[in-house]
Chains A and B, each alone.
Chain A
Amino acid sequence: MDQIFVNLKQQLLAWLIHLGASDLVVQIASVLINIAGVLGVFLTMFALLSVLERKILGRIQNRYGPNRVGPFGLFQPVADGIKMLIKEDIVPARADKLVHFAAPILIAAAAIMTLGVIPYGRNMTAFVIDGGILFFFAVGSTTELGVFMAGWGSNNKFSMLGAMRAIAQMVSYELPLIITTLPVVMVVGSLMPDAIVDAQSGYTFGVIPHWFVTKPWGAAAFLLFFISGLVESNRTPFDVPEGESEIVAGHMTEYSGFKYAIFFMAEYFGMFAVSGLAVTLFLGGWHAPIGLLEFVPSYIWFFAKLGALIFVFIWVRGTLPRTRVDQMMNFAWKFMLPMAFTCIIAAAVWFYAGHGIRGWLASLAVVAAVYLLLSQMLDTKKKFAKRTYRFAE
């Protein structure tokens, strides 16, 4: 069961060789099968998630959410897709046509490519590369350029402002995002996602998994990584670039129809990618949470963890209001960055104090000390009057 997809692909390739295809054709076919697999799975997940997110948000806000199209509103994505496809594609007359056209393509391509290096199960990495983690961030960093092109190409003040906000927050939070992956890379000694997943195999007493999130430095790094991931995918509470009460829809203001849908898709793909990387780095990738459950196929575990993280994304969106730009920047540079560096030191302490309970406690002490010190230093000492409610109680 575990290797069913891998075996399927092998058989398909064997059949091609049997037909007398040359090595080159087989290689290209192998790559195409991988790409088709990743795209197929994630496009389906995107469609499902777009309706699920509205359902969950509806539940949080005490309403039904979409429930008209199909059973439980499950066919809503089909209706949405048709609507987006037949909408008029409006390009502003003074827009820079070429840049305006290329921006969504670049953003979507970057989001899709980052999905390639994540191991979805045992032997199930679409694009195996020695520096996979580096590839993820290198390709991910081109998104900023795409956002700039969208803002500049639209020739609209709201678009440009939104793009500048987006780039500012992406550049700021890329730093903690990358630095929090460093402790994992240091401890494992490899930039290869598969090696990182391998390093997290095994269980203590058969119940406590050796995931990095169970170590103090790993837990701290995971939280920081998750917050940075929220920012990188422009999700609430950090959706400042598209704050509709201030700047319409940010860099997407002048996009309509299918181009807008592509932006929407790229945002979800970015969310999948960053959650997938978080699962790979900290949550043990495709390993089961306890030893007894190893018989369940690995990809089911991966997608269960991915689904859980995505649910938290939606939960946060339903719960928190939007932050202010300056609050967000202060948070990045004054709190996230020092804490990210602390994670590296804590990981080093854990590594050299032996991987046992002593290292665990020492590592916890480092993280806690820096956290307490930072929270003391960043305390503004402002006293707020007790909030009184006039209409709600």
Chain B
Amino acid sequence: MIGFAFIAISLFTLGAGLAAALMPKLIHAALSLVLAFGGLAAFYFLLGAEFVGLVQVFVYVGAVAVLVVFTILLTRRDVKAEARFNWSGVVVALAVLGALVWAILRTPELAVAAPDPKILTVKQIGAVLMTDYVWPLQCVGLVLTAALIGALVLVTEKES
């Protein structure tokens, strides 16, 4: 059952990813990317990482997707950009593929069994975030606040 779900979600995510790369219209590509994000969230749920899955939906499908579509909307005048074939893309893709294959082949066999996977509850994650990882959390908060203030400074109209 798990295996069947894994294959189904994999096919879905890969298909959505391929569509994101191949769709001629930019907005269709962006929406396909959102589907791929959703597939990834399904993977997290399958692995029992409920919190990570929910955050994936929350952040990527809810927020990043809106950011992407708005960026496309506000920067392109003609949304029907033609799809050109680009050789440099092929080179980059082959390079990434080669690096991954090389890394996989070099990895010795995973003889060690994974340590027993503990199901983390949201409460445990919250406790760890507030104790062991409180400084990284605060730093992220600071960066985001700075970004928010920066955005405000950029869009504020100067009073003449």
Interface positions of A (Cβ within 8 A of B): 24, 96, 98-99, 129-131, 134-135, 137-139, 141-142, 144-145, 148-149, 152, 160, 167, 171, 189-191
User: Which residues on the A side are within 8 Å of B50 (C-beta)?
Assistant: 129-131
B141 within 8 A of A: no
Quick check: which of B7-15, B56-64, B86-94, B103-111 contacts chain A, the rest being far away?
B56-64
Please determine whether B61 and A141 come into contact, CB atoms closer than 8 angstroms: yes
Please determine whether A99 and B57 come into contact, CB atoms closer than 8 angstroms: no
Please determine whether A138 and B66 come into contact, CB atoms closer than 8 angstroms: no
Please determine whether B54 and A167 come into contact, CB atoms closer than 8 angstroms: no
Interface positions of B (Cβ within 8 A of A): 1, 25, 27-28, 31, 34, 50-51, 54-55, 57-58, 61-63, 65-66, 69-70, 73, 121-123
Q: Please, how many angstroms separate the alpha-carbon atoms of A21 and B64 in the complex? A: 44
Q: Please, how many angstroms separate the alpha-carbon atoms of A99 and B72 in the complex? A: 15
Please determine whether B61 and A142 come into contact, CB atoms closer than 8 angstroms: yes
Q: Please, how many angstroms separate the alpha-carbon atoms of A190 and B55 in the complex? A: 16
User: Which residues on the B side are within 8 Å of A131 (C-beta)?
Assistant: 50-51, 54, 122
Whether A149 touches B61, Cβ cut-off 8 Å, given contacts A129-B50, A131-B50, is no
Please determine whether B54 and A145 come into contact, CB atoms closer than 8 angstroms: no
Partner of B31, one of A139, A141, A149, A189: A149
Q: Which of B34, B62, B65 has the most A CB atoms < 10 Å from its CB?
A: B62
Q: Please, how many angstroms separate the alpha-carbon atoms of A138 and B25 in the complex? A: 27
Whether A141 touches B62, Cβ cut-off 8 Å, given contacts A99-B27, A131-B51, A152-B27, is yes
Q: Which of B1, B58, B70 has the most A CB atoms < 10 Å from its CB?
A: B58
Q: Please, how many angstroms separate the alpha-carbon atoms of A99 and B51 in the complex? A: 30
Partner of A130, one of B55, B69, B122: B122
Partner of B123, one of A138, A152, A160, A189: A189
Q: Please, how many angstroms separate the alpha-carbon atoms of A260 and B100 in the complex? A: 48
| Contacts A/B (CB < 8 Å), 9 sampled | A131-B51, A135-B54, A138-B54, A139-B57, A141-B61, A144-B66, A145-B31, A152-B27, A152-B73
User: Which residues on the A side are within 8 Å of B123 (C-beta)?
Assistant: 189-190
Q: Please, how many angstroms separate the alpha-carbon atoms of A130 and B61 in the complex? A: 20
The distance from the CB of A167 to the nearest CB of chain B, in whole angstroms, is 6
The distance from the CB of B109 to the nearest CB of chain A, in whole angstroms, is 34
Q: Please, how many angstroms separate the alpha-carbon atoms of A149 and B62 in the complex? A: 13
Q: Please, how many angstroms separate the alpha-carbon atoms of A371 and B65 in the complex? A: 35
User: Which residues on the A side are within 8 Å of B65 (C-beta)?
Assistant: 145
The distance from the CB of B153 to the nearest CB of chain A, in whole angstroms, is 15
Q: Please, how many angstroms separate the alpha-carbon atoms of A149 and B54 in the complex? A: 22
Please determine whether B51 and A167 come into contact, CB atoms closer than 8 angstroms: no
Q: Please, how many angstroms separate the alpha-carbon atoms of A265 and B34 in the complex? A: 24
User: Which residues on the B side are within 8 Å of A160 (C-beta)?
Assistant: 73
Chain B residue nearest to A102 in the complex (CB): B31
User: Which residues on the B side are within 8 Å of A191 (C-beta)?
Assistant: 122
